[in-house]
Amino acid sequence: MKAVVLVSGGLDSATTLAVAVHEGYDCHALSFRYGQRHDAELEASRAVCGMLGVREHRIMTIDLGSFGGSALTDHAIDVPREPTQGIPVTYVPARNTIFLSFALGLAEVLNARHIFIGVNAVDYSGYPDCRPEYIQAFERMAQLATRAGVEGATCRIHTPLINLGKAEIIRMGTRLGVDYAQTVSCYLANSEGYACGSCEACRIRRKGFADAGIIDPTRYLN
Amino acid sequence: MKAVVLVSGGLDSATTLAVAVHEGYDCHALSFRYGQRHDAELEASRAVCGMLGVREHRIMTIDLGSFGGSALTDHAIDVPREPTQGIPVTYVPARNTIFLSFALGLAEVLNARHIFIGVNAVDYSGYPDCRPEYIQAFERMAQLATRAGVEGATCRIHTPLINLGKAEIIRMGTRLGVDYAQTVSCYLANSEGYACGSCEACRIRRKGFADAGIIDPTRYLN
C-alpha cells in the first residue's frame, strides 16, 4: 500500500518514516523548503530517506518566510533559549495544515490512502496543530475535499507518535533501526548540521536520550 | 476588519473580492502561481486587485505542476472541449485545500478573522472542494489548527457565491462595479488574455452572460 510520509529531517519524522516502512507501506516522502533558517534540515531529510528506504523523495519549495510571524522563518524574531509559556514563537502559522494539504494532493495523484505525519502532542503541546482533535478534523475535511473521498475511499492520517514522550519515540526508533545521528532537531543548526545544544528543540532532544538511557549521537556545538 | 481574499483572476474570485470590498473589509489579496498553463490569469488577478482596491496583493509560487494529475497543470492531459460527466479532469487535487491553508496562515499572521473564496457549487458541482460541506469542514479544522482558534477566536470562511448560478454572479458583480473584461476564465487563454471560446470554462461564462442579459466583454478568439 502506498503512503505519503512527511519528512522534515528531524527526530520525530525519521521515526515516523521508520514506522511506516516497518508496517510495509510503499513510502513516498515529502519535504518542504519553506524558508527555514538553515538547509541542514533538508540535508537530514535526504539522509533519512536514503537510510530508511523510500520509493521517492520530493522536496517542494514554498515561501512561508514571506508571511513572517514565526521565529523559524522570520530572521527578525529570535529563537528563544529558554522554555516559554503558551504557544511558542517558533510556531509557524498553519504550517502543518499547509504540509498536510500538499500531502493530500500528492496522495490523491498517487492514489494513496495513507498519510503519515510525526506530530507529537506531548513535548510540543504548545502547538495547536499537533493535537489529536486537530488531526481528526483534518481527516474529516480531507474526506470531503477529494475525488477519492467523494467516491467513498477514506484517506487516513497516521500519527504514530502523537501520544508518545520523546524518550519513548527514541526507544521505538532505535528498535526500528533509525540512526539519529542523521537527523537534525535544532532550530539553529549550522551549515554542517551541528546543533546549538541549548535551544528548546535541543533541550527536549537531549532530555529524551537521557530519559531513554540511549547515547545521544547528536553533534552539539556545546 | 481585515480579510484575506483568494483572487485567481477569474470571474468568480473578482466578484468575491468586490463583495468583500463592498462589505467594508480591508482586503489582503492572495494569488498563486501554481503551474497553471498560462500567466494570463495572474495578469488578470493584478488587474482585478488594482480595479477593486486592496490593501496588498501577494502572489505565492507553489509547484503543483510537479504533482501532475490535472489537465490544468499537467500539459500531457488535454483540456476537454466537451462537457464531461463526474469530476472533470481539470480538477486539481486538493487545490482549494492548499489555497485555503495558505490563506489561513496569512490570516493568522495578519490577525485577520475572515477569509473569502469564490467557490461555487452550482456550475462546477463536479469539484468536491467547492461544496458547502467541504467549506464547513475546513472551517472546523481551521478552528483547531491555529493559535487564534485555541485562544477562542473563530476564523470564518466566506463563500458569497456558493449557491449562486453564473448569471446571478455576473449580475451581482456588475452591480458592484466589476469590469469583467479584466478577468480571465478560459483554461486555454493565450498570452494576451484572449479566451478560446470553446472550453468548458468559456462555455459556462458565455452562457452566464447570455442568461444574465449582460453584454459579454470577454475577448474570445472565436
The domain ranges of chain B are: 2-185
pLDDT at residue B34 in the model = 80
Rounded to 5 degrees, what are φ and ψ at B183? -105, 155
Tell me what the mean pLDDT of segment B115-127 comes to.
82
Helix (H, G, I), strand (E, B) or coil at B122: coil
Do A109 and B62 lie within an 8 Å CB cutoff? no
What CATH fold (topology level) applies to the domain B2-185? Answer: Rossmann fold (3.40.50)
Cα torsion A50, A52, A58, A61: sign: negative
Q: Could you tell me the three cell numbers for A145?
A: 475535499
Task: Check if the beta carbon of residue B88 is closer than 8 Å to that of residue B54.
Answer: no
Strands (E) located in A89-201:
114-116, 156-158
Beta bridge partners of B3: B27
List the single range of A86-100, B14-28, B132-146 with lowest mean pLDDT.
Answer: A86-100
pLDDT at residue B160 in the model = 97
Highest mean pLDDT among A61-75, A190-204, B55-69, B104-118: B104-118
Residue B27 has pLDDT above 90, yes or no: yes
Find the CB nearest B144 among A63, A69, A128: A128
Helix (H, G, I), strand (E, B) or coil at B100: helix
* Closest listed residue to residue A218, CA positions, set A207, A163, A34: A207
Tell me what the mean pLDDT of segment B5-13 comes to.
95
Per CATH, the homologous superfamily of domain A2-184 is: HUPs (3.40.50.620)
Task: Check if the beta carbon of residue A151 is closer than 8 Å to that of residue A157.
Answer: no
How many CB contacts within 8 angstroms connect chain A with chain B? 135
Half-sphere exposure (CA, 13 Å, Cβ side) for A64? 30
| Shortest CA distance from A88: residue in chain B | B147
ipTM over 0.90: no
Task: Check if the beta carbon of residue A194 is closer than 8 Å to that of residue A221.
Answer: yes
State pTM to two decimals: 0.89
Residues of chain A whose beta carbon is less than 8 angstroms from a beta carbon of chain B are 58, 60-64, 66-69, 87, 91-98, 100-102, 104-106, 108-109, 128-129, 131, 133-134, 137-138, 140-147, 149-150
- Residue of B138, B139, B155 best to disrupt the A interface, most CBs of A under 10 A: B138
Task: Check if the beta carbon of residue B58 is closer than 8 Å to that of residue B84.
Answer: no
CA distance B93 to chain A (A): 5
- Chain B residues with beta carbon closer than 8 angstroms to that of A67: 105-106, 109
Rounded to 5 degrees, what are φ and ψ at A163? -110, 15
Do A145 and B134 lie within an 8 Å CB cutoff? yes
CA distance B31 to chain A (A): 13
Find the CB nearest B67 among A100, A105, A140: A105
Cα torsion A108, A114, A116, A120: sign: positive
